[in-house]
Amino acid sequence: MEEIDRRIVTLLAKDGRMSFTDLAKETGLSVSAVHQRVRRLEKRGVLRGYTAVIDHDAIGLPMTAFVSIKPIDPAAPDDAPDRLAHLAEIEACHSVAGDESYILKVRVASPHGLEDLLQRIRAAANVSTRTTVVLSTPYEHRPPRFDVDGDR
Amino acid sequence: MEEIDRRIVTLLAKDGRMSFTDLAKETGLSVSAVHQRVRRLEKRGVLRGYTAVIDHDAIGLPMTAFVSIKPIDPAAPDDAPDRLAHLAEIEACHSVAGDESYILKVRVASPHGLEDLLQRIRAAANVSTRTTVVLSTPYEHRPPRFDVDGDR
DNA sequence: GATGAAAAAGACTCCCA
DNA sequence: TGGGAGTCTTTTTCATC
């Protein structure tokens, strides 16, 4: 992928609703050339979609936490992500190296809501949990900086 | 905030580029009424912006990690987020309760890139680091489910 | 791949209910 | 607040280089 595609991706990461007209101005290409490139990036899966950035305080889910989980029975098949997928409070699920097996990012309304969610997580996936409560988020969703190289 | 606004927010979380026409169809409102509501949600800060969801594998940053940091000198003023803001590999910075003071989410090209970044983090903010490498991400960026209530 | 032009769809404004 | 009409902008397709 070269320069202009990277530029387009970065611009759309900063403003997912930027118009093709504006993308064209920023990249120096014509509108239709930009259009073509964006569609190609979408098709290739480089651009996986678009989403609104939401203020969780404003929608009544002001509490964020990271929940690390570990299976109670290490011999059982590990299908925790599937077993937890129905819990809408879980925004993300990452399989990780280290002492625990997954890190979940969760959004809840209150400490009570967190307590309740943790119980449901433990019950649904047969895991123990370790929770780190987020106090504030100085920044999040920063656009990626990516270079030509394959390293650094 | 009531029903229809919540619907709009959820729809835009799922597809940040959804047209006003489609939002109107989904909500049963007229285009101008939806338009008005979206602008109001943006103005109130409920909708903080829009962003493209990027495949980090595809752009040469296939390695994700969570880096927890702790100040070397607990007495020093805590301005780690500012000191780290120039590091573009850091996608998010959360202040957390618990043993460490911040959790950073980082994206790098390789183990070598991670090693290099960790050194830069330690040097820039005078902190020790503990790193958890992400092996895979079953899901991420799931839209919030939020109810009328203020609890649950 | 990129371009410009033309047609279709959508965004945005304003006024009235 | 919501709806509708009108206008202007953007998107999308297409033929051409």
How do residues A92-131 score in pLDDT, each as one tens digit?
999 999 999 999 999 999 999 999 999 999 999 999 999 9
Q: Are residues A69 and A130 in the same domain?
A: yes
Q: Return the pLDDT at A81.
A: 98
Q: Are residues A37 and A68 in the same domain?
A: no
The residue count of chain A comes to: 152
Residue B151 belongs to a domain: no
Question: What pLDDT tens digit does each residue of chain B (152 aa) get?
Answer: 688 999 999 999 999 999 999 999 999 999 999 999 999 999 999 999 999 999 999 999 999 999 999 999 999 999 999 999 999 999 999 999 999 999 999 999 999 999 999 999 999 999 999 999 999 999 999 999 886 444 44
Q: Are residues B69 and B35 in the same domain?
A: no
Q: Are residues A34 and A80 in the same domain?
A: no
Q: With contact defined as beta carbons under 8 Å apart, do B142 and A87 qualify? A: no
Q: Are residues B96 and B121 in the same domain?
A: yes
Inform me whether the C-beta atom of residue A2 falls under 8 Å from chain B C-beta atoms: no
Query: Distance (Å, rounded) from C-alpha A106 to C-alpha A56?
Result: 11
- Helix, strand or coil, per DSSP, at residue A119: helix
- Residue pointed to by tokens 């780290």: B84
Query: Distance (Å, rounded) from C-alpha A44 to C-alpha B6?
Result: 32
Q: Are residues B120 and B88 in the same domain?
A: yes
Q: Are residues B127 and B83 in the same domain?
A: yes
Residue B19's nearest CA partner among B7, B31, B1 is B31
- Helix, strand or coil, per DSSP, at residue B5: helix
Instruction: State which H helix or E strand residue A32 sits in.
Output: helix A31-44
Interface contact flag, B94 A138, Cβ < 8 Å: yes
The A 13-72 residues near strand C by Cβ under 7 Å are 29-33, 36-37
Query: Distance (Å, rounded) from C-alpha A37 to C-alpha A3?
Result: 12
Inform me whether the C-beta atom of residue B145 falls under 8 Å from chain A C-beta atoms: yes
Residue A32 belongs to a domain: yes
Q: Are residues B60 and B21 in the same domain?
A: no
User: Which domain, by its residues, includes A117?
Assistant: 56-134
Residues of B in Cβ contact (< 8 Å) with A49: 15-16, 52-53
Burial zone of B152 (CB within 10 Å; 0-12 exposed, 13-18 middle, 19+ buried): middle
Query: Distance (Å, rounded) from C-alpha A133 to C-alpha B100?
Result: 11
Token pair for A105:
């990012």
Q: Across chain A, which distance is largest between two alpha carbons, in Å? A: 58
- What's the mean pLDDT in A38-47? 96
Residue B80 belongs to a domain: yes
Q: What is the CATH number of the domain that holds B9?
A: 1.10.10.10
Shortest CB distance from B145 goes to which of A45, A88, A138? A88
Shortest CB distance from A51 goes to which of B13, B60, B139? B13
| Residue B31 approaches strand C within 7 Å at CB | yes
Q: Across chain B, which distance is largest between two alpha carbons, in Å? A: 58
Predicted TM-score (pTM) of the model is 0.94
Residue A102's nearest CA partner among B118, B109, B140 is B140
Q: Are residues A39 and A88 in the same domain?
A: no
Q: Are residues A19 and A80 in the same domain?
A: no
Q: Are residues A130 and A84 in the same domain?
A: yes
Residue B145's nearest CA partner among B1, B2, B13 is B13
Q: Are residues B36 and B97 in the same domain?
A: no
How do residues A73-93 score in pLDDT, each as one tens digit?
999 999 999 999 999 999 999
Phi, psi (deg, nearest 5) at residue A34: -65, -45
Provide the β-strand partners of residue A49: B53
| CA distance readout (Å), B88 to B49, B50, B107 | 20, 19, 9
Interface contact flag, B16 A88, Cβ < 8 Å: no
Eight-state DSSP code of residue B45: T
Number of domains in chain B: 2
Q: What is the CATH number of the domain that holds A67?
A: 3.30.70.920
